[in-house]
A and B are shown apart, each in its own frame.
Chain A
């Protein structure tokens, strides 16, 4: 059988296996079927499992032995005794197969149990790790919102300290950033409560960044080409954001 060839390459091992099978066949007829016999069969099963021999070959081998023993009974046993002899041989072979096959099932169960325990542990760890990452994200967003508030305060101070235009435009940009951080924070809380992931918010991040840059560049009188690029970017991202909002079932920004 091709699937068993790799177990039979070593001559010493082959000789040992031949002797083991020889003894095993003879022991079928020696009549000592006690717990020690049972343990010996279990050891045979475990040895097969340990070397990685597929259970299929055990069944095929048992069929081969059964057939050869049947031929011996046909040739050697008086015809009136053959039925009883065949029944006894079939039973002891089935008993052997039962015990050996059981070791395969036990090994399979053990592997499934171990795999399932490992799966549970990995999933539990992934859940905890993801929860930790989400908490880090929420804390980060809270920090960002505080930063945006500080930026607004600084811009308002600029307005009252004589830099009216710069302070006002800067405050508008900072308000946009604050609005975005609030949106992100709410989206994250919503997602933690089982809500859907909102892709349009990430396009919103780019959009707000461009709007803020455009506001700042307008007061710092940057080149018209740069400003045109910002406006073009705002239009493209605005369109994408609109398309995403529509596909996510949001035709307009939710009222606060």
Chain B
């Protein structure tokens, strides 16, 4: 059975990319409510 580690390896999802995502959190957090609202009227 395929593990999540396998999936991450297959996508070459690296630790620097995890860090990049963490740094994006403060930019994404404020508009995420609006994204969710828009999603439900999409």
Binding site for B on A (CB under 8 A): 1, 8, 14, 17-18, 21-22, 25-26, 28-31, 33-35, 37-38, 61, 64-65, 68-69, 72-73, 76-77, 81, 84-85, 87-89, 91-92, 94-95, 98-99
A29 touches B21 (CB 8 A): yes
Q: Contacts A35-B3, A37-B4, A95-B8: A26 and B29 contacting too (C-beta < 8 A)?
A: yes
A25 touches B36 (CB 8 A): yes
A8 touches B28 (CB 8 A): no
In the assembled complex, 14 residue pairs joining A and B whose CB atoms fall closer than 8 Å, in A order, are A8-B40, A17-B40, A18-B36, A21-B39, A22-B33, A25-B36, A26-B32, A29-B28, A31-B18, A33-B18, A65-B35, A72-B28, A81-B20, A91-B11
Residues on A with C-beta less than 8 A from B28 are 25-26, 28-29, 69, 72
Binding site for A on B (CB under 8 A): 3-4, 7-8, 11-13, 17-22, 24-25, 27-29, 31-33, 35-40, 42
Residues on B with C-beta less than 8 A from A84 are 17, 20
Q: Most chain-A Cβ atoms within 10 A of its Cβ — which of B12, B29, B35, B42?
A: B35
Closest residue of chain B to A38, judged by CB? B4
A95 touches B11 (CB 8 A): yes
Residues on A with C-beta less than 8 A from B25 are 26, 29-30
Partner of B21, one of A31, A37, A94, A99: A31
Partner of B7, one of A25, A64, A98: A98
Partner of A88, one of B21, B32, B36, B37: B21
Residues on A with C-beta less than 8 A from B22 are 29-31
**When chains A and B are docked, how far (Å) is the Cα of A103 from the Cα of B2?**
13
- Tell me how far the C-beta of A159 lies from the nearest C-beta in chain B, rounded to whole angstroms: 84
**When chains A and B are docked, how far (Å) is the Cα of A30 from the Cα of B19?**
9
Residues on A with C-beta less than 8 A from B38 are 68
B31 touches A72 (CB 8 A): yes
A64 touches B24 (CB 8 A): no
Residues on A with C-beta less than 8 A from B24 are 29, 73, 77, 85, 88-89
Q: Contacts A29-B28, A68-B35: A1 and B17 contacting too (C-beta < 8 A)?
A: no
Residues on A with C-beta less than 8 A from B21 are 28-29, 31, 88-89, 92
Partner of B35, one of A1, A25, A98: A25
B29 touches A95 (CB 8 A): no
A31 touches B19 (CB 8 A): yes
Extra A-B contacts (10), CB below 8 Å, given A95-B13, A98-B11 = A17-B40, A25-B28, A26-B28, A26-B29, A64-B42, A69-B35, A73-B27, A84-B20, A89-B24, A99-B7
